[in-house]
C-alpha cells in the first residue's frame, strides 16, 4: 500500500508538469479551435530567453516577468504575421503551418544555444517537501503555480469583459462580431496568452527535465493527452487530466511487468484512448450538439 | 454555459471536393505517365531509386488522401500501417522465402484487416480526438516492433535485411530499374482502382460522410460501415506501399517508422492538395526532396529552412498543388478561346 501511495505521489509530481502544459494547450484551443503543435517549442524558446537573461545577471523573478511579457508579445506577433493570413485557409493547412513553425523554432534554438543540456535554477529550492522524498519543494511550488494560474484564468474568463469577449469570439465568431467584438484581435490575444502561459510552464518544467531544444517534445505529447483526456473545452479538466496522466504513467511503470521507460508512453496513450471511447468529449468537456 | 454555444453549425473540417475535381483529365494523365515511363531510361541508378521512393511515398500519401480527403477522417497513424506492411513483406520474404511480388497483396490484406479493426474504436472519435488516437498508434508501433517476444521474427532493434529482387525472364535491366517499373505498375493499378473507388457508390458514401455525417446517415448511408471501410482501404494501400518500401530500401527497422513518417505523409497530403489524388505525387516529391534542399542550403539551420519553405508553399497555395492545377486549367481554357 505504501508503494502505491508513493507512486501516486510521484505521479502527481510529474503530473504537475503535464498539467502546466495542458493548461497552455487548452488556452490556445479555446482561442483558435486548433491544437498548436508548436506550443511546446514556443515554451522552450521562452525558457531559453529567461536562461539567457539570467546569464546576463538579471535576478530570477526579473527574468521571469520579462520572459512572460516577451512571450506574450511574441505570441501576438506570430499570430499577426504568420497565421492571420491563413485564417481563411483550410484547417489542415493551418496544422501544416504549426508543423513548419515547430521546425523553425527548434532549429533556431539549436543554432543559438546548441544542443547541450543546461541546468536551470528553481526559485523554490529542491529540498524534500514536508519530509517526503518523492516530492521536492520545487515540485510543490510548481503545483501551486499551476493551481494559481488555473484560478486566475477562471476569473479572467468568467468575470472580465475581455475574457467573456474571447469566449464569445471562439464559440460563435459571427454573432460575436455582430455585438461589436473584434474577433480577429481576440485570436491574437489568445495566442499571446497561450504563449505567456506556455513560458511559465517552460520555466517551471526546465529544472526537472533540464534545458535543451528538445526538452518539450515528450512533455507536449503528454500535455496534449492530458488536455484531451480532461476535455479540450475545460481548463479545470486539463489540470485534472495532467495529474491523472502523471499518475497513470507511474502506476503503469510500477505494476505492469516488463514495461520499460519506452512502453510507458504507448500504454498511457492507450488508456487515454480507452477513456475517450467511453467519453468522447473528455472527462470534463461538454459534448457539442450539432444542428444539421 | 450559454445555450447558443451548444448549437453549433459546424463547417466541415475538410473541404468538399466534388469528385470530378479529384482526378486529372485523360491528356494530362497520359503525359505524366509517359514521363514516368521514359525518364528512368536516361538517368543514373540513384535517381531511379529516388523515383521509386517517390512513387512509394506517393502511394502512402494517396492512401491518406482517400481517408481524409475522401471520408473526412484524420489520421496521424499512417506510419503504423506502413510499418506493418513493411514487416509483413520482409518477414514473408526472409523467413518464409516467399516471392516479393506475392508478399504485397498479403501485406495489403493484413493492413486492411488491421485498419478495419482500428477503425471500430475510432468510430466514436473525430477531429483532434481521432488525431490523438491515431497518434497513439503511431508512437506505439516502433516500441511494439522492438518487443522481445517478436524478436525471432522481427529481428528486434536491429531489424531485418531484405534481398533486392532481380529482373525476371532475363530482361536486360538493372535491379533498380526493374524495381522502379514494378513499383510503377503497382502504383498505376492502385491509382486507377482508387479513382474508380471514389467514383463508385462507396466513394459517394465516403464523400457524403465527409460533407455531413448526420445528413449522410439520414440518407441511408451506413456511416459506421463506410467509415471503418475507409480506414481499412487506406491502411491496405499504405501497407502495400510499406511492403514496396521495404523491398526498395532492402531493410526494415523499428526506428524507420516513427511518428516523423506519419507527419511527413500528412504534410505531403496538404502540399499536394487534400482530396486531389494526383496531388499525392507532388506531395511525395515535397517530402522527399525539400528536406534535402533545406540541408544543402544550410546544415545547421536545415529545420528552419524547411519550415520557411513549407510556410512559403502554404502561403502561396493554401489548397496545395490542386490550386496550381486549377489555375493552369483556367489559363489554358482562356488561351484556347483567344
Over the stretch B33-42, which tens digit does the pLDDT of each residue have? 888 887 877 8
pLDDT at B10 over 70: no
Cβ–Cβ below 8 Å for B310 and A96: yes
- Interaxial angle between packed helices A216-230 and A39-55, expressed in degrees from 0 to 180 and rounded to the nearest 10: 130
Beta bridge partners of B7: A289
Contacts of A277 in chain B (CB under 8 A): 121, 124-125
Contact residues on chain B for A99, CB-CB shorter than 8 A: 263, 266-267, 307, 310
Question: C-alpha grid cell for residue B15?
Answer: 473541404
Nearest to B9 among A96, A103, A291 (CB): A291
Per-residue confidence (pLDDT) for residue B165, from 0 to 100: 76
pLDDT (0 to 100) of residue B82: 92
Residue A199 and residue A43 in contact, taking contact as beta carbons nearer than 8 Å: yes
Pairing of strands B7-8, A289-290: parallel
B139 contacts in chain A (CB < 8 Å): 221, 265-266, 269
Residue A134 sits at φ, ψ, to 5 deg, of -90, -25
C-alpha–C-alpha distance, residues B67 and B130, integer Å: 12
Whether the CB of B3 is below 8 Å from some CB of chain A: the reply is no
Nearest CA in chain A to B302: A107
B135 in a structural domain? yes
Give the three-state DSSP class for B314: helix
Q: What is the pLDDT of residue B251?
A: 84
HSE, side-chain direction, 13 A CA sphere, residue A215: 32
Residue environment code for B302-314, b if the CB has 16+ CB neighbours within 10 A, otherwise e: bbbbbbbbbbebb
- How many Cβ atoms from other residues are within 10 Å of residue B236's Cβ? 25
User: In terms of CA atoms, which chain B residue is nearest residue A92?
Assistant: B270
| Cβ of residue B306 closer than 8 Å to a chain A Cβ | yes
Alpha helix segments (H runs only) across B212-320: 213-218, 223-249, 259-272, 279-297, 302-316
Nearest to B308 among A104, A273, A289 (CB): A104
Q: Report yes or no: A227 at the B interface, CB cutoff 8 Å.
A: no
Pairwise CA distance, residues A69 & A182, whole Å: 22
| Residues in CB range of B219: below 8 A, 6 or more apart | B208
Contact between A74 and A195 under an 8 Å Cβ cutoff? The reply is yes
Q: Assess: ipTM above 0.85.
A: no
pLDDT at position B5 is 37
Q: Residue A35's closest chain B neighbor by CA?
A: B128
Quote the CA–CA distance of A75 and A67 in Å, as a whole number.
12
Grid coordinates in use for A15?
Answer: 503530473
Range of lowest pLDDT (A16-30, A157-171, B6-20, B143-157): B6-20
For residues B267 and B224, is the Cβ–Cβ distance under 8 A?
no
| pLDDT at residue B148 in the model | 65
Over chain B, what is the mean pLDDT? 82
Q: What gap in Å lies between CA A252 and CA B224, rounded to an integer?
A: 32
pLDDT in tens, B219-229: 888 888 888 88
Residue for grid cell 532481380: B166
Quote the pTM value.
Answer: 0.84
A103 contact B CB<8A: yes
Report pLDDT for A129: 67
For residue A237, what is its C-alpha cell? 479538466
Tracing cell 517537501 back to the chain, one arrives at A129
Query: What average pLDDT does range A251-272 have in this prediction?
Result: 72
A194-203, A276-285, B9-18 — which is least confidently predicted? Answer: B9-18
The C-alpha angle with vertex B77 and arms to B72 and B80, in degrees rounded to 5, equals 140
CA distances to A28, A34, A245, B247 from B103, rounded to whole Å, are 46, 40, 40, 10
Give A114-150 as a DSSP string.
-SS-B----TT--SEETTEEEEEHHHHHHHHHHHHHH
pLDDT value at A168 more than 60? yes
- Please say whether the beta carbons of B241 and B264 come within 8 A: no
Interacting residues of A56 by C-beta distance below 8 A, sequence separation 6+: none
* Average pLDDT over every residue of B44-72: 88
Please compute the mean of the pLDDT values over residues A246-263 and round it to a whole number: 75
Give the span between the Cα atoms of A105 and A101, in whole angstroms. Answer: 6
C-alpha cell at A253: 511503470
Q: Are B197 and B67 in contact (CB under 8 A)?
A: no
Cβ contacts below 8 Å, chain A against chain B, sum to: 155
Question: Distance between CA atoms of B73 and B94, rounded to whole angstroms?
Answer: 35
Confidence of residue A67 (pLDDT cuts 50, 70, 90): very high
Query: Taking CB atoms and an 8 Å cutoff, what residues of chain A touch B2?
Result: 171
**Within-domain flag for B293:** no
What is the distance in angstroms between the Cα of A198 and the nearest Cα belonging to chain B?
A: 20
Q: Which residue of A has its CA nearest to B315?
A: A86
List the grid coordinates of A124: 523554490
Out of A100, A221, A276, the one facing B310 most closely (by C-beta) is A100
Count of domains forming chain B = 1
Structural domain includes residue B272: no
Radius of gyration, alpha carbons of chain B: 20
Reported confidence tier of residue A261, pLDDT bands at 50, 70, 90: low
Q: Which of residues 273-292 of B touch A (CB under 8 A)?
A: 274
Residue A177: burial class (beta carbons within 10 Å; 0-12, 13-18, 19+): middle
Tell me the torsion sign for CA atoms A18, A20, A22, A24.
negative
Mutate to test the interface with A, among B68, B69, B135, B136 (most CBs of A within 10 A): B136
* pLDDT exceeds 80 at position A275: no
- With beta carbons less than 8 A apart as the criterion, state whether B75 and B134 touch: yes
Residue B282: the pLDDT is 87
Average pLDDT over residues B276-305: 85
Does A72 score more than 90 pLDDT?
Answer: yes
Q: What is the pLDDT of residues B295-315, one digit of tens each?
A: 888 777 888 888 888 888 888
In a domain? residue B202: yes
Task: Please report whether residue B307 resides in a domain.
Answer: no
Domain containing residue B32 = 25-258
In this structure, chain A runs to a length of 292
Structural contact between residues B306 and B291, judged by C-beta atoms closer than 8 angstroms: yes
Task: Using a pLDDT cut of 70, give the percent of chain B over it.
Answer: 91
| Residue B143 touches chain A, beta carbons under 8 Å | yes
pLDDT at position B7, please?
35
* A222 in B contact zone (CB under 8 Å): no
Rounded CA gap, A135 and B140, in Å?
Answer: 29
Interface mutation target, options B133, B221, B301, chain A, most CBs of A under 10 Å: B133
Domain borders along chain A are 17-215
Q: Does A224 touch chain B (CB under 8 A)?
A: yes
CB contact under 8 A, B133 and A273: yes
A289 lies within 8 A of chain B by CB: yes
Our CA-based measurement puts residue B143 at a distance from the nearest CA of chain A, in whole angstroms, of 6
Residues 148-207 of B with CB under 8 A from A: none
Q: Which of A22-26, A280-284, B51-55 has the highest mean pLDDT?
A: B51-55
Query: Using the beta-carbon criterion (under 8 Å), do B9 and A107 form an inter-chain contact?
Result: no
Q: Is residue B30 part of a domain?
A: yes
Residues 6 or more apart whose CB falls under 8 angstroms from that of A276 comprise A228, A229, A282, B124, B125, B129, B132, B133
Short-list A198, A196, A250, A190, CA closest to A22: A198
Contact between A45 and A212 (Cβ < 8 Å):
no
pLDDT value of position B235: 92
Question: Touching check for B338 and chain A: CB below 8 Å?
Answer: no
Place of cell 491518406: B64
Within-domain flag for B243: yes
DSSP state of B277: T
Best mutation target among B9, B14, B128, B320 (most A Cβ atoms within 10 Å) is: B128
Amino acid at each position: 500500500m505504501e508503494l502505491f501511495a508513493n507512486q501516486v505521489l510521484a505521479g502527481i509530481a510529474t503530473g504537475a508538469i503535464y498539467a502546466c502544459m495542458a493548461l497552455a494547450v487548452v488556452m490556445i484551443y479555446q482561442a483558435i479551435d486548433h491544437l498548436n503543435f508548436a506550443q511546446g517549442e514556443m515554451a522552450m524558446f521562452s525558457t531559453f530567453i529567461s536562461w539567457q537573461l539570467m546569464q546576463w545577471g538579471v535576478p530570477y523573478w526579473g527574468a521571469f516577468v520579462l520572459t512572460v511579457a516577451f512571450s506574450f508579445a511574441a505570441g501576438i506577433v506570430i499570430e499577426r504575421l504568420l497565421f492571420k493570413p491563413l485564417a481563411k485557409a483550410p484547417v489542415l493547412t493551418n496544422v501544416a503551418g504549426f508543423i513548419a513553425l515547430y521546425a523553425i523554432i527548434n532549429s533556431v534554438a539549436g543554432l543559438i544555444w546548441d544542443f547541450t543540456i543546461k541546468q536551470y535554477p528553481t526559485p523554490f529550492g529542491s529540498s524534500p517537501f514536508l519530509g517526503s522524498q518523492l516530492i521536492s519543494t520545487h515540485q510543490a511550488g510548481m503545483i501551486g503555480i499551476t493551481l494559481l494560474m488555473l484560478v486566475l484564468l477562471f476569473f479572467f474568463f468568467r468575470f472580465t469583459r475581455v475574457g467573456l469577449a474571447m469566449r464569445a469570439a471562439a464559440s460563435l465568431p459571427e454573432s460575436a462580431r455582430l455585438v461589436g467584438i473584434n474577433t480577429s484581435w481576440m485570436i491574437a490575444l489568445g495566442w499571446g496568452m497561450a504563449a505567456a502561459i506556455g513560458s511559465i510552464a517552460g520555466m517551471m518544467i526546465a529544472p526537472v527535465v533540464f534545458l535543451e531544444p528538445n526538452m518539450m517534445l515528450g512533455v507536449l505529447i503528454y500535455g496534449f493527452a492530458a488536455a484531451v483526456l480532461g476535455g479540450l473545452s475545460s481548463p479545470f479538466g486539463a489540470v485534472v487530466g495532467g495529474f491523472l496522466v502523471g499518475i497513470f504513467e507511474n502506476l503503469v511503470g510500477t505494476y505492469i511487468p516488463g514495461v520499460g521507460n519506452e512502453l510507458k508512453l504507448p500504454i498511457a496513450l492507450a488508456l487515454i484512448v480507452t477513456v475517450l471511447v467511453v467519453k468522447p468529449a473528455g472527462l470534463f468537456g461538454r459534448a457539442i450538439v450539432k444542428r444539421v | 454555459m450559454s445555450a447558443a454555444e451548444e448549437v453549433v453549425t459546424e463547417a466541415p473540417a475538410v473541404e468538399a471536393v466534388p469528385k470530378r475535381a479529384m482526378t486529372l483529365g485523360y491528356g494530362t494523365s497520359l503525359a505524366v505517365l509517359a514521363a514516368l515511363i521514359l525518364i528512368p531510361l536516361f538517368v543514373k541508378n540513384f535517381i531511379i531509386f529516388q523515383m521509386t521512393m517517390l512513387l512509394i511515398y506517393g502511394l502512402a500519401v494517396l492512401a491518406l488522401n482517400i481517408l481524409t480527403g475522401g471520408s473526412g477522417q484524420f489520421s496521424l497513424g499512417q506510419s503504423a500501417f506502413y510499418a506493418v506492411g513493411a514487416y509483413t513483406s520482409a518477414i514473408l520474404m526472409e523467413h518464409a522465402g516467399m516471392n516479393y511480388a506475392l508478399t504485397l497483396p498479403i501485406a495489403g490484406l493484413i493492413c486492411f484487416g488491421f485498419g478495419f479493426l482500428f477503425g471500430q474504436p475510432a468510430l466514436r472519435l473525430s477531429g483532434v480526438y481521432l488525431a490523438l488516437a491515431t497518434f497513439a498508434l503511431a508512437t506505439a508501433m516502433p516500441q511494439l516492433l522492438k518487443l522481445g517476444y517478436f524478436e525471432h521474427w522481427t529481428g528486434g532493434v536491429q531489424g531485418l535485411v531484405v534481398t533486392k529482387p532481380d529482373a525476371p525472364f532475363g530482361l536486360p535491366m538493372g535491379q533498380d530499374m526493374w524495381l522502379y517499373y514494378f513499383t510503377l505498375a503497382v502504383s498505376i493499378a492502385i491509382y486507377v482502382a482508387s479513382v474508380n473507388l471514389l467514383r463508385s457508390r462507396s466513394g459517394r458514401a465516403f464523400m457524403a460522410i465527409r460533407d455531413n455525417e448526420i445528413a449522410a446517415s439520414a440518407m441511408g448511408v451506413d456511416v459506421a460501415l463506410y467509415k471503418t471501410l475507409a480506414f481499412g482501404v487506406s491502411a491496405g494501400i499504405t501497407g502495400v506501399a510499406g511492403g514496396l518500401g521495404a523491398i526498395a530500401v532492402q531493410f526494415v527497422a523499428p526506428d524507420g517508422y516513427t511518428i516523423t513518417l506519419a507527419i511527413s505523409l500528412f504534410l505531403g497530403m496538404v502540399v499536394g492538395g487534400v482530396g486531389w489524388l494526383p496531388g499525392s505525387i507532388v506531395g511525395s516529391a515535397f517530402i522527399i526532396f525539400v528536406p534535402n534542399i533545406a540541408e544543402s542550403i544550410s546544415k545547421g539551420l536545415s529545420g528552419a529552412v524547411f519550415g520557411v519553405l513549407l510556410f512559403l508553399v502554404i502561403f502561396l497555395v493554401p489548397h496545395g498543388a490542386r490550386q496550381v492545377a486549377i489555375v493552369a486549367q483556367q489559363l489554358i481554357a482562356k488561351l484556347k478561346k483567344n
